[in-house]
Copies of this chain bind each other. A is one copy, B any other.
Amino acid sequence: MGFRGTNYHGFQRQPNGITVQEVVETALSQLFNEPVTIQGCSRTDTGVHAKEYCFTMQTEKQLPERNFIRGACGYLPEDISIYRVEEMPPEFHARFSCKAKEYMYRIHNSESKNPFTTDLELLYRRKMDIPLMQEAAQHFVGTHDFATFCTNYTEKQNTIRTIHDITIEKQGNTVILLVKGNGFLYNMVRILVGTLLSVNEGRIAVSELDDLLASKNRVLAGITAQAHGLYLNRVFYE
């Protein structure tokens, strides 16, 4: 599944706003003519998009992939689409079987906004030093305690995560950051992006980053970069 998160309060069903889960469950309940509950691979924040989002549902009914996709398309709104359907063994769980995730953050780096990607890329006008940002990003690769990079961190929480890889690439006016890891804390990618932009602006030095990680002090890191540049890009299973 892919979705444009602009109009949703994230994936996870909640009482205070419309969510992707709720809309997909309603559509699939109509398609299957029975109540459908889905299990998603990840929570997502309000306004965050997904290029590749995996969920499971259970049913006794048989529906060929093509009919599932076409049928769901008829019930789903324009900003949610199902790309692929597969039958899985009962022990498969969209969230717990997931071994790694890749997030993408997209920045439109230009004096002028891009009218085609207003809700899809962060507009950032300053000059970007990509090699500097790449150098900074390497300090986050590996297994670290990412408490500094977590909104609402509490000491009870396990905040150790492994980042496998971060790449930053410029394609025309678009800067694409990819970060792959075994799991992510609340707002972690967005705070990492905000911190890399602080490095770009000279407000945090690359030499300070290891101390920043050790500090467990959210306020020392960069801002939480806006949600609309962020995408759950891929989910990896065994």
Query: Interface of A with B (CB < 8 Å)?
Result: 2-4, 49, 66, 69-70, 73, 78-83, 110-116, 118, 120
Contact = CB atoms under 8 A, between A and B. Distances in A.
The prevalent SS among residues of A at the interface is: loop
A116 B4 contact: yes
Contacts of A83: 110, 112
A70 B2 contact: no
A98 to B, nearest CB: 21
B112 A82 contact: yes
11 contacts: A3-B115, A4-B115, A49-B116, A66-B111, A69-B111, A70-B111, A78-B113, A78-B118, A81-B113, A83-B110, A116-B120
A80 B113 CA distance: 8
Contacts of A69: 111-112
Contacts of A115: 2-4, 78-81
A23 to B, nearest CB: 12
A170 to B, nearest CB: 18
A123 to B, nearest CB: 9
A2 B3 CA distance: 25
A73 B115 CA distance: 11
A3 B115 CA distance: 6
A163 to B, nearest CB: 26
A3 to B, nearest CB: 5
A79 B118 contact: yes
